[in-house]
Structure 1
Amino acid sequence: MLKKLQLLGIGVLGWCMLLSCTPDGAEYIDELDVVYTNYDVNHNFASNNTFAVPDKIVKIEGQFINGAGGNYEPEYVSPGYTAAILASIRTNMRNAGYTEVDKSANPDLIILPSVIQTDQLFFYYDWWYWNWFYPGWGPGWSWYYPGYYPPQVSSVRTGTVLLQMTDPNNISENDQIPVVWTSVINGLLEGSTSAINSRINTSIDQAFSQSPYLAK
Protein backbone atom coordinates (compact mmCIF):
# COMPACT_ATOMS: atom_id res chain seq x y z
CA MET A 1 0.00 0.00 0.00
CA LEU A 2 1.36 3.36 -1.04
CA LYS A 3 1.07 6.04 1.60
CA LYS A 4 1.30 9.61 0.45
CA LEU A 5 3.33 11.78 2.77
CA GLN A 6 2.18 15.24 3.70
CA LEU A 7 4.63 17.56 2.06
CA LEU A 8 5.98 20.57 3.84
CA GLY A 9 9.02 22.50 2.56
CA ILE A 10 11.38 24.60 4.64
CA GLY A 11 11.79 28.35 4.28
CA VAL A 12 15.44 29.13 4.75
CA LEU A 13 15.53 32.92 4.77
CA GLY A 14 19.04 32.94 6.17
CA TRP A 15 20.29 30.99 3.15
CA CYS A 16 18.93 33.64 0.81
CA MET A 17 20.49 36.38 2.94
CA LEU A 18 23.84 34.61 2.83
CA LEU A 19 23.79 34.34 -0.95
CA SER A 20 22.81 37.99 -1.24
CA CYS A 21 26.03 38.90 0.53
CA THR A 22 28.15 37.07 -2.05
CA PRO A 23 27.39 38.43 -5.55
CA ASP A 24 29.10 35.53 -7.31
CA GLY A 25 27.47 32.90 -5.08
CA ALA A 26 29.05 30.69 -2.46
CA GLU A 27 32.62 29.56 -3.15
CA TYR A 28 32.58 26.60 -0.71
CA ILE A 29 29.80 24.17 0.14
CA ASP A 30 29.90 24.96 3.86
CA GLU A 31 29.04 28.58 3.07
CA LEU A 32 25.53 27.31 2.26
CA ASP A 33 25.04 25.61 5.65
CA VAL A 34 21.91 26.80 7.46
CA VAL A 35 20.86 25.45 10.87
CA TYR A 36 17.16 25.83 11.70
CA THR A 37 15.63 24.96 15.09
CA ASN A 38 12.15 25.20 16.56
CA TYR A 39 10.48 23.91 19.71
CA ASP A 40 7.32 23.62 21.77
CA VAL A 41 7.41 26.63 24.12
CA ASN A 42 5.04 24.83 26.49
CA HIS A 43 7.23 21.78 26.95
CA ASN A 44 9.14 21.66 30.24
CA PHE A 45 12.58 20.40 29.22
CA ALA A 46 13.83 20.83 32.79
CA SER A 47 11.57 17.94 33.83
CA ASN A 48 13.29 15.58 31.36
CA ASN A 49 16.36 13.65 32.44
CA THR A 50 16.94 10.77 30.03
CA PHE A 51 17.11 10.29 26.28
CA ALA A 52 17.52 7.54 23.70
CA VAL A 53 18.70 7.49 20.09
CA PRO A 54 18.58 4.71 17.48
CA ASP A 55 21.76 3.02 16.27
CA LYS A 56 20.85 3.68 12.62
CA ILE A 57 19.82 6.79 10.72
CA VAL A 58 16.95 6.65 8.26
CA LYS A 59 17.46 7.86 4.69
CA ILE A 60 14.35 9.54 3.26
CA GLU A 61 14.46 9.50 -0.52
CA GLY A 62 11.01 10.12 -1.95
CA GLN A 63 7.45 11.33 -1.53
CA PHE A 64 6.01 7.83 -1.39
CA ILE A 65 6.89 4.66 0.44
CA ASN A 66 5.84 1.24 -0.70
CA GLY A 67 4.90 -0.13 2.72
CA ALA A 68 5.61 -3.78 3.39
CA GLY A 69 3.82 -4.24 6.69
CA GLY A 70 5.33 -4.68 10.10
CA ASN A 71 8.56 -6.22 8.81
CA TYR A 72 9.44 -3.22 6.68
CA GLU A 73 12.72 -1.43 7.35
CA PRO A 74 13.86 1.68 5.47
CA GLU A 75 17.23 2.32 3.88
CA TYR A 76 19.85 3.70 6.22
CA VAL A 77 22.70 6.22 6.03
CA SER A 78 26.23 4.76 5.71
CA PRO A 79 27.87 3.75 9.03
CA GLY A 80 30.61 6.40 8.86
CA TYR A 81 28.21 9.33 8.68
CA THR A 82 25.83 7.64 11.12
CA ALA A 83 28.56 7.32 13.75
CA ALA A 84 29.53 10.99 13.41
CA ILE A 85 25.94 12.26 13.64
CA LEU A 86 25.01 10.06 16.61
CA ALA A 87 28.24 10.88 18.45
CA SER A 88 27.56 14.60 18.09
CA ILE A 89 23.96 14.23 19.29
CA ARG A 90 25.06 12.19 22.31
CA THR A 91 27.81 14.64 23.25
CA ASN A 92 25.49 17.63 23.07
CA MET A 93 22.71 15.92 25.01
CA ARG A 94 25.11 14.84 27.76
CA ASN A 95 26.61 18.32 27.90
CA ALA A 96 23.06 19.66 28.28
CA GLY A 97 22.61 17.48 31.37
CA TYR A 98 20.79 14.41 30.05
CA THR A 99 21.60 10.72 30.57
CA GLU A 100 21.36 8.24 27.72
CA VAL A 101 19.31 5.08 28.32
CA ASP A 102 18.02 2.22 26.20
CA LYS A 103 14.68 2.79 24.45
CA SER A 104 13.21 0.02 26.67
CA ALA A 105 14.05 2.05 29.81
CA ASN A 106 11.21 4.53 29.26
CA PRO A 107 13.33 7.53 28.17
CA ASP A 108 11.93 11.01 28.66
CA LEU A 109 13.01 12.02 25.15
CA ILE A 110 13.75 10.11 21.95
CA ILE A 111 15.78 11.84 19.23
CA LEU A 112 15.13 10.58 15.71
CA PRO A 113 17.74 11.67 13.16
CA SER A 114 17.14 11.21 9.44
CA VAL A 115 18.76 12.35 6.21
CA ILE A 116 16.73 13.84 3.37
CA GLN A 117 17.99 12.61 0.00
CA THR A 118 15.51 14.63 -2.07
CA ASP A 119 15.07 18.29 -3.00
CA GLN A 120 12.09 18.61 -0.66
CA LEU A 121 11.62 17.95 3.04
CA PHE A 122 8.82 15.80 4.41
CA PHE A 123 8.06 16.64 8.03
CA TYR A 124 5.29 14.05 8.15
CA TYR A 125 6.64 10.86 6.69
CA ASP A 126 5.29 7.34 6.75
CA TRP A 127 5.14 5.64 10.15
CA TRP A 128 7.06 2.64 8.74
CA TYR A 129 10.24 4.69 8.80
CA TRP A 130 10.39 4.25 12.58
CA ASN A 131 8.41 1.04 13.01
CA TRP A 132 11.67 -0.85 13.62
CA PHE A 133 12.85 1.41 16.45
CA TYR A 134 10.20 3.49 18.19
CA PRO A 135 8.85 1.65 21.29
CA GLY A 136 5.20 0.66 20.96
CA TRP A 137 4.99 1.98 17.42
CA GLY A 138 2.12 0.76 15.29
CA PRO A 139 -0.17 1.49 12.31
CA GLY A 140 -2.11 4.72 12.48
CA TRP A 141 0.46 6.59 14.57
CA SER A 142 1.79 9.95 13.41
CA TRP A 143 3.79 13.02 14.47
CA TYR A 144 2.44 16.35 15.60
CA TYR A 145 4.08 19.61 16.66
CA PRO A 146 2.34 21.00 19.76
CA GLY A 147 2.71 24.72 20.37
CA TYR A 148 4.69 25.42 17.21
CA TYR A 149 4.74 24.63 13.55
CA PRO A 150 7.53 23.58 11.18
CA PRO A 151 8.94 26.42 9.13
CA GLN A 152 7.39 28.03 6.10
CA VAL A 153 9.22 26.62 3.17
CA SER A 154 11.32 26.95 0.30
CA SER A 155 13.58 23.99 -0.44
CA VAL A 156 16.36 21.95 1.07
CA ARG A 157 19.38 20.39 -0.57
CA THR A 158 20.06 16.69 -0.91
CA GLY A 159 21.86 15.49 2.20
CA THR A 160 19.93 17.66 4.65
CA VAL A 161 19.88 16.30 8.22
CA LEU A 162 16.61 16.38 10.17
CA LEU A 163 16.54 15.89 13.96
CA GLN A 164 13.22 15.32 15.69
CA MET A 165 13.08 15.18 19.49
CA THR A 166 9.94 13.36 20.59
CA ASP A 167 8.13 12.97 23.91
CA PRO A 168 7.19 9.26 24.10
CA ASN A 169 5.40 9.62 27.43
CA ASN A 170 2.77 12.07 26.21
CA ILE A 171 1.30 10.31 23.20
CA SER A 172 -2.20 11.59 22.48
CA GLU A 173 -5.37 9.50 22.56
CA ASN A 174 -5.38 9.32 18.76
CA ASP A 175 -1.81 7.96 18.70
CA GLN A 176 -0.04 11.19 17.79
CA ILE A 177 3.52 11.53 19.07
CA PRO A 178 4.53 15.07 20.09
CA VAL A 179 7.71 16.45 18.50
CA VAL A 180 8.97 18.97 21.05
CA TRP A 181 12.12 20.12 19.23
CA THR A 182 13.19 20.07 15.60
CA SER A 183 16.44 20.92 13.87
CA VAL A 184 17.03 21.08 10.14
CA ILE A 185 20.61 21.31 8.89
CA ASN A 186 20.55 22.12 5.20
CA GLY A 187 22.66 20.03 2.80
CA LEU A 188 25.06 18.73 5.44
CA LEU A 189 26.08 15.49 3.70
CA GLU A 190 27.70 17.07 0.66
CA GLY A 191 31.43 17.35 -0.07
CA SER A 192 34.38 15.18 0.97
CA THR A 193 34.12 12.73 3.87
CA SER A 194 36.53 14.68 6.08
CA ALA A 195 34.75 17.96 5.37
CA ILE A 196 31.35 16.38 6.06
CA ASN A 197 32.46 14.96 9.42
CA SER A 198 33.79 18.36 10.45
CA ARG A 199 30.59 20.09 9.38
CA ILE A 200 28.48 17.49 11.22
CA ASN A 201 30.09 18.42 14.52
CA THR A 202 29.98 22.15 13.86
CA SER A 203 26.38 22.21 12.64
CA ILE A 204 24.89 19.96 15.33
CA ASP A 205 26.81 21.93 17.96
CA GLN A 206 25.23 25.06 16.49
CA ALA A 207 21.74 23.53 16.65
CA PHE A 208 22.13 22.94 20.39
CA SER A 209 23.90 26.26 20.95
CA GLN A 210 20.94 28.16 19.51
CA SER A 211 18.56 26.08 21.66
CA PRO A 212 19.59 27.06 25.22
CA TYR A 213 16.18 26.00 26.58
CA LEU A 214 17.31 22.36 26.17
CA ALA A 215 20.00 22.68 28.85
CA LYS A 216 19.10 21.54 32.36
Structure 2
Amino acid sequence: MQGLDFSVVLPYADILWIGVWWTVVLTVSASLLSFFGGILFALVVLYAPTVFAYPVRLFMWLFMGTPLLLQLFLIYFGLVQIGIDIPALAAGIVGLGLHFAVYNADIFRAGIVAIDSGQAEAARSIGFGRWQTLRYIVVPQAVRNTALPVGGNMISLLKESSIVSVIGITELVHAAQLAISETYRPFEFYLVAAALYYVLNLVLEFGLRRVERRVEMSR
Protein backbone atom coordinates (compact mmCIF):
# COMPACT_ATOMS: atom_id res chain seq x y z
CA MET A 1 0.00 0.00 0.00
CA GLN A 2 1.46 3.33 -1.08
CA GLY A 3 1.47 6.29 1.27
CA LEU A 4 1.22 9.95 0.33
CA ASP A 5 4.41 11.48 -1.03
CA PHE A 6 4.08 15.19 -1.77
CA SER A 7 7.73 15.39 -2.83
CA VAL A 8 6.54 14.27 -6.28
CA VAL A 9 4.69 17.59 -6.62
CA LEU A 10 7.76 19.84 -6.48
CA PRO A 11 9.19 18.93 -9.93
CA TYR A 12 5.81 19.85 -11.43
CA ALA A 13 5.39 23.14 -9.59
CA ASP A 14 5.89 25.12 -12.81
CA ILE A 15 3.03 23.28 -14.51
CA LEU A 16 0.76 23.91 -11.54
CA TRP A 17 1.62 27.63 -11.46
CA ILE A 18 0.82 27.84 -15.16
CA GLY A 19 -2.51 26.26 -14.31
CA VAL A 20 -3.09 28.83 -11.57
CA TRP A 21 -2.24 31.65 -13.98
CA TRP A 22 -4.72 30.49 -16.63
CA THR A 23 -7.37 29.89 -13.98
CA VAL A 24 -6.97 33.52 -12.89
CA VAL A 25 -7.07 34.73 -16.51
CA LEU A 26 -10.22 32.71 -17.18
CA THR A 27 -11.93 33.84 -14.00
CA VAL A 28 -11.15 37.54 -14.41
CA SER A 29 -12.02 37.64 -18.12
CA ALA A 30 -15.21 35.61 -17.79
CA SER A 31 -16.27 37.59 -14.70
CA LEU A 32 -15.98 40.85 -16.61
CA LEU A 33 -17.98 39.39 -19.50
CA SER A 34 -20.63 38.03 -17.15
CA PHE A 35 -20.88 41.36 -15.30
CA PHE A 36 -21.25 43.67 -18.28
CA GLY A 37 -23.13 41.07 -20.30
CA GLY A 38 -25.57 40.65 -17.42
CA ILE A 39 -26.25 44.39 -17.30
CA LEU A 40 -26.75 44.48 -21.09
CA PHE A 41 -29.12 41.48 -21.07
CA ALA A 42 -31.12 42.99 -18.21
CA LEU A 43 -31.50 46.32 -20.00
CA VAL A 44 -32.51 44.65 -23.28
CA VAL A 45 -35.11 42.49 -21.54
CA LEU A 46 -36.58 45.46 -19.67
CA TYR A 47 -36.39 48.29 -22.18
CA ALA A 48 -35.61 47.09 -25.71
CA PRO A 49 -38.32 46.60 -28.35
CA THR A 50 -39.90 43.16 -28.45
CA VAL A 51 -38.00 42.17 -31.60
CA PHE A 52 -34.74 42.42 -29.59
CA ALA A 53 -36.02 41.46 -26.14
CA TYR A 54 -37.58 38.11 -27.09
CA PRO A 55 -34.42 36.60 -28.65
CA VAL A 56 -32.45 37.62 -25.56
CA ARG A 57 -35.11 36.07 -23.31
CA LEU A 58 -34.91 32.87 -25.37
CA PHE A 59 -31.11 32.88 -25.17
CA MET A 60 -31.23 33.31 -21.39
CA TRP A 61 -33.81 30.56 -21.05
CA LEU A 62 -31.66 28.16 -23.08
CA PHE A 63 -28.49 28.94 -21.13
CA MET A 64 -30.26 28.57 -17.80
CA GLY A 65 -31.75 25.24 -18.83
CA THR A 66 -28.64 23.53 -20.19
CA PRO A 67 -25.38 22.43 -18.52
CA LEU A 68 -22.24 24.53 -18.80
CA LEU A 69 -20.33 21.53 -20.15
CA LEU A 70 -22.74 21.19 -23.08
CA GLN A 71 -22.50 24.92 -23.78
CA LEU A 72 -18.70 24.71 -23.92
CA PHE A 73 -18.88 21.77 -26.33
CA LEU A 74 -21.31 23.64 -28.58
CA ILE A 75 -19.13 26.77 -28.61
CA TYR A 76 -15.80 25.01 -29.11
CA PHE A 77 -16.69 21.93 -31.18
CA GLY A 78 -20.11 22.82 -32.62
CA LEU A 79 -19.42 26.25 -34.09
CA VAL A 80 -16.55 24.85 -36.17
CA GLN A 81 -19.13 23.00 -38.29
CA ILE A 82 -20.63 26.32 -39.40
CA GLY A 83 -17.27 27.92 -40.08
CA ILE A 84 -16.69 29.67 -36.73
CA ASP A 85 -13.40 28.42 -35.29
CA ILE A 86 -12.88 29.83 -31.79
CA PRO A 87 -9.58 29.19 -29.93
CA ALA A 88 -9.94 27.12 -26.77
CA LEU A 89 -9.15 30.00 -24.41
CA ALA A 90 -11.66 32.32 -26.07
CA ALA A 91 -14.27 29.55 -26.08
CA GLY A 92 -13.72 28.98 -22.37
CA ILE A 93 -14.04 32.68 -21.57
CA VAL A 94 -17.14 33.10 -23.75
CA GLY A 95 -18.76 29.93 -22.40
CA LEU A 96 -18.17 30.78 -18.75
CA GLY A 97 -18.97 34.45 -19.27
CA LEU A 98 -22.28 33.90 -21.05
CA HIS A 99 -23.32 31.12 -18.69
CA PHE A 100 -23.02 33.40 -15.67
CA ALA A 101 -24.15 36.52 -17.55
CA VAL A 102 -27.68 35.14 -17.81
CA TYR A 103 -27.82 34.58 -14.05
CA ASN A 104 -26.38 38.03 -13.38
CA ALA A 105 -28.96 39.46 -15.79
CA ASP A 106 -31.77 38.07 -13.65
CA ILE A 107 -30.18 39.64 -10.56
CA PHE A 108 -29.62 43.01 -12.25
CA ARG A 109 -33.14 42.98 -13.67
CA ALA A 110 -34.58 42.54 -10.19
CA GLY A 111 -32.28 45.28 -8.88
CA ILE A 112 -33.36 47.71 -11.60
CA VAL A 113 -37.06 47.02 -11.07
CA ALA A 114 -36.61 47.62 -7.32
CA ILE A 115 -35.32 51.19 -7.84
CA ASP A 116 -37.93 53.78 -6.84
CA SER A 117 -39.55 55.08 -10.04
CA GLY A 118 -39.58 58.55 -8.49
CA GLN A 119 -35.81 58.78 -9.00
CA ALA A 120 -36.18 58.24 -12.75
CA GLU A 121 -38.94 60.84 -12.88
CA ALA A 122 -36.76 63.32 -10.99
CA ALA A 123 -33.86 62.69 -13.39
CA ARG A 124 -36.07 63.32 -16.39
CA SER A 125 -37.41 66.50 -14.82
CA ILE A 126 -33.90 67.96 -14.89
CA GLY A 127 -33.38 67.07 -18.55
CA PHE A 128 -32.02 63.51 -18.48
CA GLY A 129 -33.16 61.22 -21.29
CA ARG A 130 -34.08 57.57 -20.74
CA TRP A 131 -30.61 56.20 -21.38
CA GLN A 132 -28.92 58.94 -19.38
CA THR A 133 -31.26 58.13 -16.50
CA LEU A 134 -30.41 54.44 -16.75
CA ARG A 135 -26.68 55.07 -17.06
CA TYR A 136 -26.22 57.61 -14.29
CA ILE A 137 -29.09 56.93 -11.89
CA VAL A 138 -30.73 53.53 -12.19
CA VAL A 139 -27.98 51.09 -13.21
CA PRO A 140 -25.34 52.31 -10.67
CA GLN A 141 -27.85 51.91 -7.84
CA ALA A 142 -28.95 48.49 -9.10
CA VAL A 143 -25.30 47.36 -9.26
CA ARG A 144 -24.68 48.56 -5.69
CA ASN A 145 -27.82 46.83 -4.42
CA THR A 146 -26.94 43.53 -6.09
CA ALA A 147 -23.22 43.42 -5.26
CA LEU A 148 -23.59 40.49 -2.84
CA PRO A 149 -25.39 37.98 -5.12
CA VAL A 150 -23.30 38.97 -8.15
CA GLY A 151 -20.18 38.43 -6.05
CA GLY A 152 -21.50 34.98 -5.15
CA ASN A 153 -21.80 34.20 -8.86
CA MET A 154 -18.17 35.21 -9.36
CA ILE A 155 -17.09 32.76 -6.68
CA SER A 156 -19.13 30.06 -8.42
CA LEU A 157 -17.50 31.00 -11.71
CA LEU A 158 -14.04 30.49 -10.21
CA LYS A 159 -15.00 26.98 -9.12
CA GLU A 160 -16.70 26.14 -12.42
CA SER A 161 -13.65 27.26 -14.39
CA SER A 162 -12.23 23.76 -13.89
CA ILE A 163 -14.74 22.48 -16.46
CA VAL A 164 -12.85 24.17 -19.32
CA SER A 165 -10.14 21.53 -18.91
CA VAL A 166 -12.32 19.32 -21.15
CA ILE A 167 -11.53 21.54 -24.17
CA GLY A 168 -7.79 21.46 -23.52
CA ILE A 169 -7.14 24.69 -21.63
CA THR A 170 -4.27 24.21 -19.19
CA GLU A 171 -6.01 25.64 -16.17
CA LEU A 172 -5.38 24.20 -12.70
CA VAL A 173 -7.23 20.88 -13.05
CA HIS A 174 -5.81 20.23 -16.51
CA ALA A 175 -2.31 21.04 -15.24
CA ALA A 176 -2.78 18.56 -12.39
CA GLN A 177 -3.96 15.92 -14.87
CA LEU A 178 -0.84 16.44 -17.00
CA ALA A 179 1.34 15.86 -13.95
CA ILE A 180 -0.71 12.82 -12.94
CA SER A 181 -0.31 11.30 -16.41
CA GLU A 182 3.46 11.25 -15.84
CA THR A 183 3.63 10.36 -12.14
CA TYR A 184 0.52 8.22 -11.60
CA ARG A 185 0.02 10.03 -8.27
CA PRO A 186 -3.52 11.47 -8.53
CA PHE A 187 -4.19 11.93 -4.83
CA GLU A 188 -1.25 14.24 -4.18
CA PHE A 189 -1.84 16.45 -7.22
CA TYR A 190 -5.60 16.69 -6.77
CA LEU A 191 -5.09 17.62 -3.10
CA VAL A 192 -2.62 20.34 -4.08
CA ALA A 193 -5.00 21.59 -6.79
CA ALA A 194 -7.82 21.70 -4.23
CA ALA A 195 -5.63 23.69 -1.84
CA LEU A 196 -4.71 26.16 -4.60
CA TYR A 197 -8.38 26.59 -5.51
CA TYR A 198 -9.12 27.27 -1.86
CA VAL A 199 -6.43 29.96 -1.73
CA LEU A 200 -7.77 31.58 -4.92
CA ASN A 201 -11.25 31.46 -3.44
CA LEU A 202 -10.05 33.19 -0.25
CA VAL A 203 -8.34 35.92 -2.29
CA LEU A 204 -11.52 36.47 -4.34
CA GLU A 205 -13.70 36.55 -1.22
CA PHE A 206 -11.34 39.08 0.37
CA GLY A 207 -11.57 41.31 -2.71
CA LEU A 208 -15.37 41.01 -2.83
CA ARG A 209 -15.67 41.90 0.86
CA ARG A 210 -13.66 45.07 0.24
CA VAL A 211 -15.94 45.96 -2.67
CA GLU A 212 -19.03 45.32 -0.55
CA ARG A 213 -17.69 47.56 2.24
CA ARG A 214 -17.06 50.35 -0.26
CA VAL A 215 -20.57 49.88 -1.63
CA GLU A 216 -22.06 50.11 1.85
CA MET A 217 -20.06 53.27 2.58
CA SER A 218 -21.24 54.88 -0.67
CA ARG A 219 -24.92 54.50 0.15
Normalised by the shorter chain, which TM-score bucket? under 0.3
TM-score by length of 1: 0.26
Bigger proportion of residues as helix: 2
Select the structure of larger CA radius of gyration.
2
